[in-house]
Structure 1
């Protein structure tokens, strides 16, 4: 299903949090570098991940995290791509399942930005820039970034940094939390703010951040090893980035908040060497995701995307050749060269009939060709093997809409939004189906959910109020709308109290 943003870039968000002093060099998300192992002597790691209990509880962290995520949705180019989201979520939770000290659910998402960066924040939220896929040459390298970020969360580095800052700076928890969250997503703001601090305070913060980075490296490598990734992927990726940007006048955001001095690289290399060397087969799914990003989210034209696919394919192993064919098929599809796209996708799907990357693309293809029945048949067959799979379900609902089977689409989307309430794609399609059916109240309710996901509480409440007025007086539907209004008002008040 095609659903990718037309905008590109990142804007600093400070609408709701009004920090009194930005925390310089806060531990925004350091890259994680996955390492995995079949068997190795366990590395003794200190149990220091809960020392921030006196500052914020886990529940409070979750409240801040949810609030900040809503702000990001409103102001950042979040990638709402079902196939990529499924891949990132699968990779992230494979790592979480092998991490220590996990006390919160995790949410993984992507921001469309060619800069190399990743960051984590309260509540288990981990963001990856799409540019990471252009620089990580293997799934293990990408996983190393994610594992590092997971360690920042499990070891509660944000809360611990805030506790450290609170000892030296008179400020409310809200102000400190706002500073931390701002510096995470906008590291340049944190760096600029450091000029206003004293030299002693600056050195203290730098030391504290470096300590957290090393700790995240240690825990990240242990997690990666347990999850089955290459142990040396982290130092390999670190070294390549350090070499590439050693003399750069403007390093990527990741290196602003996660500097790579030689001793840090050496430390990760020595730790990786404590595990037996291993080489794993290249991940086709990783390279399919990478090709999809090049074709649709890299901010380059179709000729440049084709050139990248051709050049990169020459240096890769035969096992991942289908990923480059897939990338070319997407370029053909997006430039409406439908016959060329169909030829490639038909072959790919014949060889791998249950692959969601291919099923998603071929459903878009047959919609574009004016043959939605073909797409519907393939999706319904796939759903028998993977019922309620999010990628297949959203594509299935989209095809029903294109076939003007609005009643069926509405039922499918009611189920989908129940299972995936934070996916704006589902709410957009439900709004479309409701509008086509003349159900103005349900259209307003779906649009209200999108607004609430983006922290636009007042407008969301207004839309639900209008929906309640339209619904039959005393009906279950009206009661449901009224109950949702109460929930949104409570969430809004809790959100505004964070300022």
Structure 2
């Protein structure tokens, strides 16, 4: 439904934010409670503040994929794992960055980023889940806070200075790199030893989370082994191998640990392969002919379930290349077999709107929402269909509720701004665009928009009071943000 332009990745930041280097243990999960030591200098509440600030900077500097279908899939996968993880102390947020590099990283506040390139190399959902589970463990065990505390203890730097350096590296890369070098000098060997311990814990807890969540635990060593073999002699390894090195000992230890769990047969995940096909079609940076060739080659070697996902990928390519006559019979067949699949409904809605069948799109989505009330994919598609059908007042009502329930989704605010514009509400449009600025940490632009919106409405009105209250909130947020 929505597509983004590609930007360069932040490899340095990923390498700094993910604890790396390896090793494994053979005993059970009765690890010493060293995670709590970080609380002496960095509280959970502080981590939440730092995580929120970092996420706003990421939205402004990196190509975060705001695709409702992929967002739903990644969030569902991540929270399935979190539900079975140990020592969860924060909420979790999972998101995708449009980057073909194989990488993932975790940061304060429960934020886990996955590069879209992971889907191109992970062959099963369990392999992808093994990466996510590893990153979840970095957060639950507070590895970043502990690592910073250790560095601060061994050098003149404070944890606040180290965090500030990381945030600065996003806002002003050259200054950030210099600051990081200054705050980490002199503690290299101790830092390496500490990150080895972190990786041991993350692998250990990650495999246990995989098992409890119903995934194939052997997927972790299998993915590790294939990645190491593929890039063993590469002059430039992928980002994941720079931030998560894979010596033979780590692969061996993860294999031995996986063997301690009962063997489990895990069925093919259609949703994983649908997500993978969507990324190949829309976020792999290849043209339509190359994407169709990829789907054709894969269809010769996979089972029926995966072939459905490959057909879905073809549908997206045909829609994006305006070959609507080729897309229609394929999506009709997929919907007939699985009418409530949100991947299919999203594609069918796009096709309806492109072929001027707006009423059909609206009916399809309304019927879907009866069966799946408040589903974010269907709701955002319904709002989009309303705006495309010249029904902005109805779209505003839907999007007001959606942005209330999903305040961190830029897509909802962008659509609301358009709906307000089409409905002739200049103040509403300014306010909605202000929220997009705020999500990117662009506080002055957000405040300017809200100030203009307040000046446009009737003096003393409820709208003005609401805008002025939001101005006060944003000013406070700006002060806290600047203080970091």
Name the TM-score class by shorter chain: over 0.9
Shift of 1:316: 1.9
Question: Could you say which residue in structure 2 is the equivalent of 1:312?
Answer: 298
Equivalent pair of 2:155/2:184 in contact (CA under 8 Å): no
Partner Cα separation in structure 2 for residue 272 and residue 190 of structure 1: 38
Distance across 2 between alignment mates of 1:247 and 1:203: 26
Task: Provide the residue aligned with 1:261 in structure 2.
Answer: 247
Counterpart position of 1:229: 215
Alignment of 1:140-219 (within 5 A): 140-180=126-166, 201-219=187-205
Structure 2 contact 281–313 (Cα < 8 Å) conserved: yes
C-alpha contact 2:151 2:187 (8 A) present in aligned 1: no
**Partner residue of 2:41 out of 40, 52, 55:** 55
SS of residue in 2 equivalent to 1:220: helix
Structure 1 residue matching 2:40: 3-state secondary structure? coil
Note if 1:28 corresponds to 2:27: no
CA–CA separation in structure 2 for the residues paired with 1:175 and 1:43:
33
User: Would you say 1:281 and 2:280 are equivalent positions?
Assistant: no
Give the Cα separation in 2 of the matches to 1:490 and 1:382.
Answer: 41
Q: Deviations over 1:283-324 (max 9, x none)?
A: 000000000000000000111111111222222222221100
Could you say which residue in structure 2 is the equivalent of 1:413?
A: 399
On the 8 A contact 1:80/1:424 being kept in 2, the answer is yes
Note the C-alpha offset of 1:180: 4.8
Matched, 1:71 2:57: yes
CA 1:195–1:270: 2 relative to 1, 3 Å: farther
The counterpart of 2:331, out of the listed 331, 339, 345, is: 345
User: Secondary structure of the equivalent of 2:39?
Assistant: coil
Distance 2:149 2:184 in 1: 17
Pairwise CA distance, 1:46: 3.5
Q: Secondary structure at the match of 1:126?
A: strand
Contact 1:25-1:183 within 8 A present in 2 as well: no
> Is the partner of 2:96 in helix, strand or coil?
strand
Compared with structure 1, are the counterparts of its residues 379 and 6 closer, same or farther at alpha carbon in structure 2 (3 Å cutoff)?
A: same
In the alignment, structure 1 residue 248 sits paired with structure 2 residue 234: yes
Contact 1:30 1:149 in 2 (8 A): no
Deviations 1:253-290 (A, max 9, x none): 11111101111111111110000111211100000000
What SS does structure 2 have at the residue aligned with 1:71?
Answer: helix
Structure 1 gap ranges (5+) = 15-23, 33-40
| 1:300 correspondence with 2:286 | yes
Kept after mapping to 2: 8 A contact 1:26/1:161 = no
| CA-to-aligned-CA distance 1:382-410 (integer Å, 9 cap, x gap) | 00011111000000011111110111111
- In 2, the alpha carbon distance for the partners of 1:276 and 1:43 equals 16
Aligned-residue offset at 1:178: 3.2
2:314 pairs with 1:328: yes
- Measured against aligned partners, the alpha-carbon deviations of 1:92-125 in whole angstroms (never above 9, x if no partner) come to 0000000010000000000000000000000000
Corresponding residue for residue 10 of structure 1: 9
Q: In the aligned structure 2, how far is the partner of 1:197 from the partner of 1:377?
A: 58
1:382 to 1:31, Cα distance in 2 relative to 1, 3 A? farther
Matched, 1:92 2:78: yes
TM-score normalised per structure 2: 0.94
Change (3 A) 1:190 1:281: farther
Greater shift after overlay, 300-309 or 67-76? 300-309
Is the Cα contact below 8 Å between 2:165 and 2:179 reproduced in 1? no
> For the structure 1 residues 469 and 191, does the alpha-carbon distance in structure 2 shift closer, same or farther, using more than 3 Å as the test?
closer
Query: Does the alignment pair 1:462 with 2:461?
Result: no
Partner of 1:38: none
How far apart in 2 are the matches of 1:27 and 1:206? 14
Of the three residues 364, 367, 382, the one matched with 1:381 is 367
Alpha carbons of structure 1 residues 183 and 97: separation in structure 2 relative to 1, 3 Å: farther
Q: CA–CA distance in 2 between the matches of 1:192 and 1:289? A: 39
Look up the SS of the partner of 1:247 in the other structure: coil
Tell me the CA shift for residue 78 of structure 1. Answer: 0.4
Q: Residue 222 and residue 190 in structure 1: after superposition, are their counterparts in 2 closer, same or farther (change >3 A)?
A: farther
1:49 alignment partner, SS class: helix
Cα 1:150/1:193, change in 2 over 3 Å = same
Q: Secondary structure at the match of 1:145?
A: helix
**Pairwise CA distance, 1:197:** 7.0
CA distance in 2, matches of 1:137, 1:190: 35
Contact 2:29 2:205 in 1 (8 A): no
3-state DSSP class of the match of 2:35? coil
Q: 1:31 to 1:443 in 2, by over 3 A?
A: farther
- Name the Cα RMSD after superposition: 2.4
Distance 1:313 1:195 in 2: 52
Match of 1:21 in 2: none
> Relative contact order: is structure 1 or structure 2 higher (C-alpha 8 Å, sep ≥ 6)?
1
Contact 2:6 2:99 survives alignment (8 Å): no
**Given that residues 13 and 182 in structure 1 are in contact (C-alpha distance below 8 angstroms), is that contact kept between their aligned partners in structure 2?**
no
Distance 1:7 1:464, change over 3 A: same
How many Å separate the matches in 2 of 1:349 and 1:125? 34
2:431 aligned with 1:445: yes
Spell out, residue by residue over 1:63-101, the C-alpha distance to the aligned partner (whole angstroms, 9 max, x if none): 000000000000100000000000000000000000010
Query: The residue matched to 1:358 in structure 2 has which SS?
Result: helix
Report the number of matched residues: 477
- Who is 1:130 aligned against? 116
Tell me, in whole angstroms, the C-alpha distance in 1 between the residues paired with 2:453 and 2:374. Answer: 28
CA distance in structure 2 between the partners assigned to 1:250 and 1:193 by the alignment: 23
8 A contact 2:166–2:180 mirrored in 1: no
